[in-house]
């Protein structure tokens, strides 16, 4: 790969915002391995669900890129993996059209999933894609309200885990819903980390995110509480026999979570908080992988 080709690749890779894609593939992984307790895995459905989820998340990121540019939130001085339009001079229309292409491919994958399971999922899929667009698009973007963390957690966590389980088993049970809660919280924490980094800029632009309403210090406390709630809730599930003792493997991720929290304390510049953002996404990946692994181990042992 030449230097110029690598530069082009880096631009488009940043547009996907890869650190957020864990919010797409981890829930599919967890929902699918949960199905092992009931049936064998249909890998065609798993692959289609995984790719569709990643495409919808990537499209959501592109809508975010486009509409933040249109509203003047992104400038050439903005800190973060976004800013492809303002820094790399990619035409806004290309970003928007690519987002719709990604949704189109996800729709085709959704048709296959519906043919193999239930057409009721078409309604759920359309709602999910609409939320992806309305997250930063439309007259009242969800991302500019205090409900961003809740919406992202519910749709990228609970909903994707439940759908991934359903397409394998034709059902959704209480255990699946409960197991999805810790992952949903961590996905919300990824957005919370992003909003903590962007606190000053978002406040100046008039956004009303949860962090802005709480204030920076209380926002960090809430962020810390999200991690605490994640581990405490899973521990409760273990004691109630909704999760096996193998799930205690997730305690190995606690040091990463602690580093993520410390990465925000005493920091004021967005560039200083970038490592904490990446550590938050890393915690989600590690937690989700170890939780899924514990489910697999408990099934075969």
User: How do the domains of the chain map onto residue ranges?
Assistant: 3-292
Report the mean per-residue pLDDT for the chain.
89
Q: How far apart are CA 242 and CA 255, in angstroms?
A: 25
> How confident is the model at residue 181, as a pLDDT?
97
Task: Provide mean pLDDT across the span 278-295.
Answer: 95
Is residue 190 within 8 Å of residue 61, measured between CB atoms? no
Residues whose CB is less than 8 angstroms from the CB of residue 264 and which lie 6 or more positions away in sequence, other chains included: 193, 196, 220, 223, 273, 276
Alpha-carbon distance of 230 to 194, in angstroms, equals: 19
Split at pLDDT 50, 70, 90, the class of 5 is low
pLDDT at 300: 85
What is the average pLDDT across 58-83?
73
How far is it, in rounded angstroms, from Cα 107 to Cα 114?
Answer: 10
Judged against a pLDDT cut of 70, whether residue 129 lies above it is answered with yes
| Better-scored residue on pLDDT, 107 or 132 | 107
Closest of 165, 135, 139, 137 to residue 150, by C-alpha = 135
For residue 118, what pLDDT is reported?
Answer: 93
Q: What is the pLDDT of residues 242-251, one digit of tens each?
A: 999 999 999 9
Write down the residue that tokens 């799930």 correspond to.
Answer: 247
Q: 174-197 and 160-169 are packed helices; what angle lies between their axes, rounded to 10 degrees?
A: 150
User: pLDDT band for position 53 (50/70/90)?
Assistant: very high
Give the count of beta carbons closer than 10 Å to the beta carbon of residue 155. 23
Task: Average the pLDDT over each of 2-16, 17-31, 171-185 and give the range with the smallest value.
Answer: 2-16
What is the average per-residue pLDDT within 159-164?
A: 96
Place of tokens 């990465």: 263
User: Taking the CB of residue 245, how many other CB atoms lie within 10 A of it?
Assistant: 11
Q: Work out the average pLDDT over 123-139.
A: 87
Range 232-241 average pLDDT = 96
What token pair was written down for 229? 């709630």
């Amino acid at each position: 790969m030449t230097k110029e080709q690598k530069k082009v690749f880096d631009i488009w890779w940043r547009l996907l915002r890869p650190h957020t894609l864990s919010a797409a593939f981890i829930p599919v992984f967890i929902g699918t391995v949960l199905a092992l307790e009931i049936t064998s895995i249909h890998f065609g459905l798993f692959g289609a669900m995984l790719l569709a989820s990643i495409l919808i998340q990537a499209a959501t990121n592109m809508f975010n890129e486009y509409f933040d540019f249109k509203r003047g939130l992104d400038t050439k001085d903005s800190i973060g993996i976004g800013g492809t339009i303002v820094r790399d001079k990619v035409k806004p229309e290309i970003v928007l059209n690519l987002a719709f292409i990604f949704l189109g491919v996800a729709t085709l994958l959704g048709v296959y999933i519906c043919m193999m399971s239930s057409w009721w999922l078409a309604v759920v899929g359309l709602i999910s894609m609409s939320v992806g667009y309305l997250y930063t698009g439309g007259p009242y973007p969800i991302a500019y309200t205090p409900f961003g963390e809740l919406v992202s957690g519910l749709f990228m966590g609970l909903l994707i885990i439940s759908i991934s389980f359903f397409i394998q088993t034709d059902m959704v049970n209480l255990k699946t819903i409960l197991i999805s809660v810790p992952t949903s919280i961590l996905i919300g924490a990824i957005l919370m980390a992003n909003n903590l980094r962007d606190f000053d800029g978002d406040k100046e632009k008039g956004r009303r995110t949860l962090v802005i309403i709480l204030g920076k210090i209380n926002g960090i406390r809430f962020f810390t509480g999200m991690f605490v709630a994640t581990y405490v809730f899973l521990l409760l599930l273990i004691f109630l026999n909704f999760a096996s003792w193998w799930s205690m493997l997730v305690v190995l991720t606690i040091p990463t979570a602690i580093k993520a929290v410390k990465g925000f304390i005493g920091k004021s510049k967005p560039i200083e908080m970038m490592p904490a953002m990446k550590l938050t996404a890393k915690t989600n990946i590690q937690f989700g992988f170890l939780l899924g692994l514990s489910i697999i181990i408990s099934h075969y042992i």
